[in-house]
Amino acid sequence: MIYLDNSATTKPFPEVIESYAAVAANYFGNPSSLHRIGMEAEKLLIQARAQIASLLDVKASEIYFTSGGTEGNNMALKGISRHFRSRGKHIITTSIEHDSIKKVMEQLEQDGFTVSYLPVNEDGFVSVDDIKKLIQNDTILVSIMHVNNETGAIQPIEAIGKLLTQYPKIYFHVDGVQAIGKTPLSLREYHIDLYTMSAHKFHGLKGNGILYAKEGIRISPLLAGGGQERDIRSGTENVAGAVATAKALRMQMENYKNHFEKMLELNKFIRSQLESMDGVVVHTPVNSVPHIINFSAVGVKPEVLIHALEEKGIFLSTTSACSSRTNTVSKTLLAMGVPENIAESSFRISLAYENELKEIQEAMAVLKETIKWLRGVMNR
């Protein structure tokens, strides 16, 4: 099997699974309990939070555990908007956000908020100047994804954060689900107020995530209950999940440090192979994260190619995993100005640091052969 759908989800590190199992079996107490078993669980939770904070170079009090990217984005957007709605009801985001941002914006619009959607250029990047032009007196929030989940384009987060320092009443949220451990990040230097992460995107376990919220920021909680996570996310904490997430993030950061250059080389090889194929258009801009390459095999039906490759042990995807079953054309590619007849035949290859050149060479050879065969069948 050659797995090339790591942006949908990654395979958990064996050490992460072992860590989860050990904590779940031996430290099963409720961290809110006063007895020894509960206090042991609470200690592990505190340690996991501190480890994650250290890896991100922030304070432990700025780390909140969530169930993943969708909840983290909902917590950030709804939490800020509802808490500061008396200050203003204008929000700025982009036209290429993940549905866990887009759908929240639609809900907020129904609640009386006004949302401005930034366009992107032909490479899928937003303009900092466009953001500045959209800022109003009642703007309270700007939400921009760090890395696009379909094309891998890296948005100018640092420059946007610097711009927003001129507007202290505007909060800056970043969906970092596809970015963590794949591209440089400094939450402090980029002046980010809220940053969302999902463990299963960096070889952690599904159902676990992290929300960074800068110290002093007040957000309205989504869930009312026992006041866990400093009153921001009520519910008995998933201690085993938190410990496993901390381990996964540490291992991912080590891979980023040690294997990033190898992934860059794999990306260059894939791009060169795709560009040499007839009727194949690469959509991912050159200066993007190395783990995502988006392309179109013009005239080839996505589901047919996906299943043909699957029969040969190769797994990749069409659009984002959340949209792949709806058979809709990529809104990101359309926003980039890609013609619909090309965008409707788009695919995404997404790598992990574990991928090796030999398997990538095999996958590219099979991909080229399969596209050629499918076109021959369709033209009969």
CA distance 115 to 127: 17
Q: What is the pLDDT of residue 188?
A: 97
Identify the bridge partners of residue 23 per DSSP, sorted by sequence position: none
Q: What is the pLDDT of residue 42?
A: 94
DSSP secondary structure string for all residues of 194-249: EEEEEGGGTT--TT-EEEEE-TT-----S--SS-TTTTTS-S---HHHHHHHHHHH
CA distance 196 to 176: 5
Residue ranges in the chain modelled with pLDDT below 70:
320-327, 377-380
Query: Does residue 322 carry a catalytic annotation?
Result: yes
Q: What is the pLDDT of residue 37?
A: 85
**Which one is the CATH code of 2-8+258-378: 3.90.1150.10, 1.20.58.2050, 3.40.50.300, 1.10.357.140?**
3.90.1150.10
Triad 8, 13, 14: Cα angle to 5°: 135
Q: What is the pLDDT of residue 272?
A: 97
The class of domain 14-251 in CATH terms is alpha beta
Other beta carbons less than 10 A from residue 157's beta carbon: 24
Closest CA to 56 of 223, 200, 207, 245: 245
What is the tens place of the pLDDT at every residue in 121-139? 999 999 999 999 999 999 9
Tell me how far CA of residue 38 lies from CA of 30, 51, 245, 360, in angstroms: 5, 20, 20, 47
CA distance 281 to 295: 5
Q: What is the pLDDT of residue 378?
A: 60
What is the tens place of the pLDDT at every residue in 345-365? 999 999 999 999 999 999 999
* Domains 2-8+258-378 and 14-251 are alike in CATH topology: no
CA distance 128 to 121: 12
CA distance 118 to 110: 19
Q: What is the pLDDT of residue 323?
A: 53
Q: Which of 22, 223, 264, 322 is catalytic?
A: 322
- The maximal CA–CA distance of the chain, rounded, in angstroms, is 74
Q: What are the extents of the domains in the chain? A: 2-8+258-378, 14-251
Q: What is the pLDDT of residue 377?
A: 66
Q: What is the pLDDT of residue 317?
A: 94
Q: What is the pLDDT of residue 322?
A: 55
Q: What is the pLDDT of residue 325?
A: 54
